[in-house]
Copies of this chain bind each other. A is one copy, B any other.
């Protein structure tokens, strides 16, 4: 009983201390109780309405991007993603079109009145990117690229930060803190699956991270169903789970012809699958 009492005190003090540490963080909901809303040309991400960010894995051509973007427009979607700078495990894999890719995204988005989300990997490209993108994505491999986080934090371009391949939720929040601590409050978090022993999926979608991040932080939280599963047949079911659990939105990849895609061909939807994906989410009532 003496020991039991001691344990209780001990446990309580442990929780107190952790609470204190988290309260101190700018990302913490204890520091700022109200939800952060990131305004993307009128789309208020994080306002309670759930949204879809979609587009091809890699930007390959204007025609390719335009075809996906106009299908999105048909469905009333305005948040267009596409990779111009691609982080690839091997130096011999397609590395992306770079700045030319950003130009294609911007041109398409301007023509269709959409917003552009694209990944930046080098701190020196952050300033240039602001001319082309509405949201700078910092990818999983760069979640702890602290110079990149600091640079992105020192501009006002909104940032979408993906969770690292094996980052704890605590490390994820601290990486986010680098952005806010440098002055940029326009931050969106994105769960994208973590690395585990299971090989049936490319990564393991940590769906519980969503309610934890919504509770601990005031930031919008998205779920990337493409990279977390790596399987086309799991995009729709996991998107439903993400919407049901309270994510602010879902990110998924679409390609006019996935079979010839320059990257990640096995996990992108084609245009028909995209339309049925959106329709099915609407039919369940989970997506409005």
Per-residue contact bits, chain A 222-239, to B (CB 8 Å; 1 contact, 0 not): 000000110001100110
Q: Is A132 an interface residue (CB 8 A)?
A: no
Q: How far is the CA of A142 from the CA of B205 in the complex (A)?
A: 23
Q: Is A286 an interface residue (CB 8 A)?
A: yes
- A124: chain B residues at CB < 8 Å are 123-124
- Cross-chain contact B284 with A244 (CB below 8 angstroms): yes
| A234 → chain B closest CB, angstroms | 6
Q: Is A1 an interface residue (CB 8 A)?
A: no
Q: Is A76 an interface residue (CB 8 A)?
A: no
Per-residue contact bits, chain A 93-137, to B (CB 8 Å; 1 contact, 0 not): 000000000000000000000000000011110000000000000
- Cross-chain contact B168 with A91 (CB below 8 angstroms): no
With an 8 Å Cβ cutoff, the count of chain A residues facing the other chain is: 71
Per-residue contact bits, chain A 203-224, to B (CB 8 Å; 1 contact, 0 not): 0111111111001000000000
Number of this chain's copies in the assembly equals: 4
A194 touches which of B88, B196, B199, B234 (Cβ 8 Å):
B196
Interface of A is mostly: helix
**A32-40, A52-60, A170-178: which lies at the B interface?**
A170-178
Nearest chain B residue, comparing its CB with the CB of A202: B208
From known contacts A88-B146, A144-B141, A178-B91, infer whether A244 and B286 are also in contact, taking CB-CB under 8 Å. yes
From known contacts A196-B196, A211-B237, A212-B200, infer whether A147 and B168 are also in contact, taking CB-CB under 8 Å. no
Q: Is A261 an interface residue (CB 8 A)?
A: no
Q: How far is the CA of A197 from the CA of B181 in the complex (A)?
A: 27
- Cross-chain contact B205 with A194 (CB below 8 angstroms): no
A-B contact pairs, 9 of them (CB 8 A): A91-B177, A91-B182, A121-B146, A165-B165, A204-B204, A204-B206, A237-B246, A240-B245, A244-B286
**Given pairs A10-B13, A168-B200, 9 additional interface contacts (CB within 8 A):** A92-B181, A123-B123, A145-B145, A166-B166, A197-B197, A201-B208, A205-B208, A238-B245, A241-B241
Interface residues in chain A, defined as those with a beta carbon under 8 Å from any beta carbon in chain B: 3, 6-7, 10, 13-14, 17, 20, 87-92, 121-124, 141-142, 144-147, 150, 165-166, 168-171, 174-175, 177-178, 181-182, 194-201, 204-212, 215, 228-229, 233-234, 237-238, 240-246, 284-286
